[in-house]
A and B are shown apart, each in its own frame.
Chain A
Amino acid sequence: MTLAAELSGNGNGSSPEKLLAPVLSAFWDQPESWTLETYRRHDGYEGLRKALAMSPDDLIAYVKDSGLRGRGGAGFPTGMKWQFIPQGDGKPHYLVVNADESEPGTCKDIPLLFANPHSLIEGIVIACYAIRSSHAFIYLRGEVVPVLRRLHEAVREAYAAGYLGKDILGSGLDLELTVHAGAGAYICGEETALLDSLEGRRGQPRLRPPFPAVAGLYACPTVVNNVESIASVPAILTRGKDWFKSMGSEKSPGFTLYSLSGHVANPGQFEAPLGITLRQLLDMSGGMRPGHRLKFWTPGGSSTPMFTDEHLDVPLDYEGVGAAGSMLGTKALQCFDETTCVVRAVTRWTEFYAHESCGKCTPCREGTYWLVQLLRDIEAGKGAMGDLDKLNDIADNINGKSFCALGDGAAAPIFSSLKYFRAEYEQHITGRGCPFDPAKSTLWADGPHRTTEVNA
């Protein structure tokens, strides 16, 4: 524990205890953290009791007042999404939780659901009470069976304890919750593609309007929320909206999960008030791996324009990251050091977008395909200088011209890497190949003694 003393002993108010704010992750280190019993020991389902004591409309207003914004990438106010659901329309209403976490670099919802699935289930009951829904769905990506097991078990526990089913806690609220496993398609993270997929179709996005709040699942009013957004609601009710607003900024209040990955000394999850900086996170966690420098990073997954070491002090909230030319996205902080070839990174991301493009609209389907062809040539030393402008052109013909945000996401790494690292692309062309050695980027490149190592 001497390292902790060193880390917290810098005395300038930047200690991890002050900068971090574990809420959803607060008891992940407890034995059997995923069980109902552990959850109850940590104020579990107390938020639901408070919510059920309010009227649904007051509850929506309360969540809106808290300022909670969507944690899935777009940052739309959660309470406002709930408010858009027409009431008294005689149609069933649905809540669909987007647990299709697939954005490259994003790894917050999966550990959250693995360690603390009940926070999501409690949030779901609260949200359904607010929007007058009696059937909710969790659309979990299929490739995470350990999480699926715990969700199955948590839902079983919640039914047995009377948090789901008929007349929940004597409130008169009836709610069915269905856990639905996807089958491998990044596009299903897009909310309307997710709804089509949940209806048993190919996951392709729908034209909007009508928005899901009007015509969503089975053409009924539907709220689609990210896992972390919904899981944050119980704590807001238990501890109050003022507590929530005391963290972060006026427009970006509250706490959130930041996921640090890549060439850092200690990758992992860091729950903190919105607005922390990458420099603060790196300082407290041991920085980049020893002997290396940060080269580029994404603030919120591969679909958010990349940053460089110039941006270490950008406040990681919706406004701060936006003002610096990117998006907060999913707060997936993928950090790459100077051993990493940016062309290789962007090529691989682009291959991903081409593979995951659903094929519905031409700019994305064709554009991502041709980006891959150009990038592979450049990476292999077979590119021409004119290819760089062509890359920009194609990306420009995808960005904002595609049916959904997948296309915009595909363009983001192209634009941003050309902006910051055009010289590196040119080097691949003039040098007829990649000047980097990929072996130097691996986890084991610097030998086993580069970090304070333990055996598994």
Chain B
Amino acid sequence: MTETTPTSLGMPQLPAPDFPADVRARLEADAKEVIARYPDSRSALLPLLHLVQSEEGHVSRTGMRFCAEMLDLTTAEVTAVATFYTMYRRKPSGDYQVGVCTNTLCAVMGGDAIFDELKRHLGVGNDETTTDGKVTLEHIECNAACDFAPVVMVNWEFFDNQTPESAKRLVDDLRAGRPVEPTRGAPLCTYKETARILAGFPDERPGAVAASGGAGPASLVGLRLAKGEAPHPRVVHPRGEGPRDEPQPGAQHLSSHDAPQQTSASDPAHPAGPVDEEGE
């Protein structure tokens, strides 16, 4: 998806349009339920931002205006919060957010190679969406599953012990609309539906809570040893992958997720020094 960046000519932006009346009525009812959970209404801001994201797939100016009105805040106050947290998307994105952990441990264990391979396979860069609008690819930070490294998250469900091949099959399945089940978590719903759960509305799908069973295999290694059982061998090739011997494409990169590595001295495009990519 190509994004056109609006050019600022120094004119203040007009207030964002409101949601259509029926949407607004529905969201207001939800918002009031969320606000009632907190002693102070402003505490509901993060859940409400998840809520408007569940409506539009990202946090729009309309969504922020809605939050501001519900909580009696200014849109500036809401914008300040919405831009601080990485889970709020700032632009329309895909139905499935595929996040590859490239923090040190996962990166070293293969996350860098997986991310490079997915970029090549999908033809998109970090935080970009495939042309069919299905998959948004991004690299993510440590997601508290290091004993299942390398980890890929899709709409914040766990896909443990991934390889470049398994990850490619995963995104192919997502784009083809084939059902995909995480190693830990429930059968995938869309990003919007996930955002509604994050807003504090439990997943009502039958079996969603129980899906994928109890603790993952790595979580049970110590318990099994303590019971005198052999450790269950780690699952090297999830999703039925066969062995491969050839080196992984992209595995030679160093810090591939932020390449090219430029300093202010070497990057004339950013004379004041490279800014963080989220800041651009």
Q: Is the CB of B226 within 8 A of A22?
A: yes
CB of A149 within 8 Å of the partner chain = yes
The interface residues of chain A lying within 8 Å CB-to-CB of B54 are none
Scoring A residues 321 to 341 as 1 if CB is less than 8 Å from chain B, else 0, what string do you get?
Answer: 000000000001010100010
Q: How far is the CB of B63 from chain A (nearest CB, A)?
A: 13
In chain A, positions 1-41 with a C-beta closer than 8 Å to chain B are 1-4, 7-8, 16-17, 20-22, 25-26, 28-34
Q: Beta-carbon contacts of A344-377 to B below 8 Å, as 1s and 0s?
A: 1101110110111010000000000100010011
Q: How far is the CA of A443 from the CA of B109 in the complex (A)?
A: 5
The interface stretch among B10-18, B23-31, B120-128, B144-152 is: B144-152
Asked, given contacts A180-B47, A199-B42, A447-B245, whether A268 binds B156 with beta carbons under 8 Å apart, the answer is no
Q: Which of A81-89, A101-109, A389-397 contacts B (4 or more CB under 8 A)?
A: A101-109
Q: Determine whether the beta carbon of A1 is less than 8 Å from that of B219.
A: no
Q: Which of B37, B108, B219, B276 contacts A268 (CB 8 A)?
A: B219
Residue-by-residue, is B206-241 near A (CB-CB < 8 Å gives 1, otherwise 0)? 001110101111111111111111111111111110
Cβ–Cβ contact B229 & A1, under 8 A? yes
B104 touching A266 by the CB < 8 A rule? no
Contact B219 A115 (CB under 8 A): yes
Residue A260, interface by CB 8 Å: yes
CB closest residue in chain A, given B155: A145
Q: Are A344 and B255 closer than 8 Å at their CB atoms? A: yes
| CB atoms of B222 and A355 under 8 A apart | no
Check if B186 is an interface residue, CB within 8 A of chain A. yes
> Does any Cβ of B come within 8 Å of A152's Cβ?
yes
Residues 98-116 (chain B) with a chain A CB within 8 angstroms: 99, 102-105, 107-110, 112-113
Q: Is B174 close to A, CB under 8 A? A: no
A379 and B234 alpha carbons, distance in the complex (Å)? 32
Residues of A within 8 A of B216 (CB): 111, 114
- A107 B45 Cβ-Cβ under 8 A: no
User: Complex: how many Å from CA A107 to CA B276?
Assistant: 27
Q: Which A residue's beta carbon lies closest to that of B112?
A: A438
Hey, what's the 0/1 contact readout for A150-161 against B, CB within 8 Å counting as 1? 101100100000
- Interface size of A as a range: 35 or more
The answer on a CB contact under 8 Å between A355 and B276 is yes
Say yes or no: B252 contacts A438, CB within 8 Å. yes
Q: With A218-B40, A348-B104, A438-B252 known to touch, is A266 a contact of B231 (CB < 8 Å)?
A: yes
Q: Nearest A residue to B261 by beta-carbon distance?
A: A376
Decide: A178 near B38, CB < 8 A? Known: A26-B223, A443-B110: yes
Set A102, A355, A358, A453: member contacting B144, Cβ < 8 A: A102
Q: Which residues of B contact A17 (CB under 8 A)?
A: 225-228
Which of A136-144, A165-173, A400-408 is the interface stretch?
A: A136-144
Whether A104 and B226, one on each chain, are in contact in the complex, defined by CB atoms closer than 8 angstroms, is no
Per-residue CB proximity of B176-208 to A under 8 Å, as 1/0? 000000111110000000100111101100001
Majority secondary structure, B binding face: loop
How far does the alpha carbon of A109 sit from the alpha carbon of B146 in the complex, in Å?
Answer: 12
Q: A146-B184, A153-B209 are in contact. Are A92 and B214 (CB under 8 A)?
A: no
B220–A442 contact, CB under 8 A? no
| Cβ contact within 8 Å between B85 and A184 | yes
CB-CB < 8 A to A453: which residues of B? 233-237
Given A109-B144, A153-B202, A199-B40, A442 and B251 touching (CB < 8 A)?
Answer: yes
Q: Does B163 contact A (CB under 8 A)?
A: yes
Across-interface contacts of B212 in A (CB, < 8 A): 146
Is there a chain B Cβ closer than 8 Å to A318's Cβ?
A: no
**Which of B42, B146, B251, B278 has the most C-beta atoms of chain A within 10 angstroms of its own C-beta?**
B146
Partner of B147, one of A3, A198, A267: A267
- Inter-chain contact A269/B147, CB cutoff 8 Å: yes
Residues on the A chain within 8 Å of B218, using CB: 266-269
The stretch that binds B, out of A200-208, A244-252, A308-316, is A200-208
Contact of A104 among B104, B198, B254 (CB under 8 A): B104
Closest residue of chain A to B161, judged by CB?
A: A443
Q: Are the CB atoms of B214 and A29 closer together than 8 Å?
A: yes
CB <8 Å contact, B142 and A102: yes
Residues of chain B lying within 8 A (CB to CB) of residue A302? 104
A sample of 10 cross-chain residue pairs with beta-carbon separation below 8 angstroms, ordered by A number, consists of A200-B44, A266-B221, A266-B233, A266-B234, A270-B222, A334-B105, A444-B237, A444-B248, A447-B243, A456-B183
| Top-10 shortest CB links A-B | A268-B221, A270-B222, A200-B45, A183-B85, A439-B251, A146-B185, A16-B225, A200-B42, A184-B87, A261-B146
Extra contacts besides A203-B85, A334-B105, A354-B276 (18): CB < 8 Å: A104-B103, A105-B105, A106-B142, A110-B144, A115-B215, A135-B39, A143-B153, A183-B198, A201-B42, A262-B108, A262-B149, A285-B231, A345-B108, A438-B254, A442-B150, A448-B243, A453-B237, A456-B235
